[in-house]
Amino acid sequence: MDFINKFFSKYPQEKIIKWFKQICLAEAITCFLLYGIAMIWKRYDDEGILPTIFIIIVGNIHGLFFTLYLLFCLPVRKIFNWDDEDFVFALLAAFFPFATVWVDKKLARFDRE
């Protein structure tokens, strides 16, 4: 974790927050593309090669944003002063579709009560 903190310390907080918000949105969009389009397409066009290629491409992109989200939770925790409960909730949100958008809108704010 020291490596991650040292890496992110080079960047201003505003930039990290901006990247985190973009990653949350991108993770949700790729999740929709994967579950809402690619898997349904594959279900109804089982013999075609295009749905399989689409699933592979979108799945890899989604995996990238999933991993980036988990990595960015560490510096964002310090920026927004999340306690352990908030941090665990933010980490678990990565495993539920579209929950990262909720984290961005509700947890990643300075004016929370």
Residue 87: the pLDDT is 93
How crowded is residue 103: how many other Cβ atoms within 10 Å of its Cβ?
23
pTM (2 d.p.) = 0.88
Structure tokens at 17: 């927050």
Q: How do residues 75-113 score in pLDDT, each as one tens digit? A: 999 999 999 999 999 999 999 989 999 998 888 787 766
Indicate left, alpha or beta for 79 from its phi (over 0: left) and psi (-120 to 50: alpha). alpha
Amino acid identity of 96? Answer: F
User: Rounded CA gap, 97 and 90, in Å?
Assistant: 13
- Helices in the chain by DSSP H: which ranges? 2-8, 13-32, 39-44, 50-79, 84-93, 99-102
Q: In terms of Cα–Cα distance, which of 22, 24, 16, 39 is closest to 101?
A: 24
User: Rounded CA gap, 106 and 51, in Å?
Assistant: 35
Residue 1: the pLDDT is 65
